[in-house]
Amino acid sequence: MSTRRKLVVGNWKMHGSHAANAELLQGILAGGPVNADLAVCVPFPYLSEVAVTLANSNVAWGAQDVSAHEQGAYTGEVSAGMLREFGCRYAIVGHSERRAYHGETDQVVADKAKAALSKGITPIVCVGETLAQREAGETEAVVKRQLSAVIHALGHCVGEMVVAYEPVWAIGTGKVATPEQAQAVHALLRAQLRAAAPQADNMKILYGGSMKPDNAPTLLAQPDIDGGLIGGAALKAADFLAIARAA
């Protein structure tokens, strides 16, 4: 049985308002302590208010993206240094939506992960295959290629990232990888990390594909699934807390 403490991260995506955020965070904080680490990754405009609300709580917070660049003429970009300045703990990099809609390559994702780590921010590096890739039997090759780019970029700091496996075909579709399908890919990623990092057995690999209160217990019971990167269910305090309790 793994001794890794579970990590449950809410990815709010492009959702939120002052009122909705306050209500959601109040609900999460009122839920009392859970036996897992919790974090929320929120849109850039809300980072400072979330930082204030969650100060002195057990809930960490992070961004949904970060620039690969340190500073300069990159209109609309937000650097790791800016995020770090007011206490950002995590940054999601390489989410399938960024790869698909913004054309982020494996190298760009690796550069973003490196930029985050250089400022002491833990990158949550997302990897995952599309339905077409899974049906073509390419799952293993795709996720290994995606992770390999990051391993190469981070060098001896590989052990400081969090990895999230998100089968693209299971995001927001209501389809979920079976616990066995998810565990198989998590085990594959763990083996790849072991070859690169001595501390691979202590690294967290999260599952991110339509995890909800009803399927969380069986997914989180798998030996190599160390938590969740939660989308829709993270927008309801009761659902988010139910998943955290399952962890």
Chain segment 181-218, per-residue pLDDT in tens? 999 999 999 999 999 998 899 999 999 988 999 999 99
Kindly state the percentage of the chain with pLDDT values over 90.
90
- For the chain, give the percent of residues with pLDDT over 70: 99
Mean pLDDT of 44-50: 96
Active site residue 160: no
Q: How large is the average pLDDT for residues 42-49?
A: 96
Mean pLDDT of 138-164: 96
Read out DSSP for 1-42?
A: ---PPPEEEEE--S---HHHHHHHHHHHHHT---SSEEEEEE
Supply 38's token pair: 């919790």
Regarding the domain delimited by 7-246, which CATH topology (the fold level of the hierarchy) does it fall under?
Answer: TIM Barrel (3.20.20)
Residue 169 has what pLDDT?
87
- Binding site per annotation, positions: 11-13, 172, 210, 231-232
Contact (Cβ atoms closer than 8 angstroms) between residue 195 and residue 147: no
Q: Whole-angstrom Cα distance, residue 31 to residue 241? A: 7
Inform me whether the pLDDT recorded for 173 exceeds 90. no
Does 95 qualify as catalytic in the annotation? Answer: yes
Catalytic residue among 69, 166, 180, 186: 166
95, 97, 104, 129: the catalytic one is 95
- List binding-site positions for substrate: 11-13, 172, 210, 231-232
Domain boundaries, the chain: 7-246
Q: If you average pLDDT over residues 90-117, what whole number do you get?
A: 97
Digit-coded pLDDT (tens) for 88-99: 999 999 999 999
Tell me the pTM: 0.96
Residue 55 has pLDDT above 90, yes or no: yes
pLDDT at 56: 92
Confidence of residue 103 (pLDDT cuts 50, 70, 90): very high
For residue 2, the model assigns a pLDDT of 61
- How far apart (Å, rounded) are the C-alpha atoms in residues 142 and 40? 27
Q: What is the mean pLDDT of residues 70-86?
A: 96
The reported pLDDT for the residue numbered 142 is 97
Q: What is the mean pLDDT of the chain?
A: 95
Q: What angle do CA 220, 127, 207 make, to 5 degrees?
A: 10
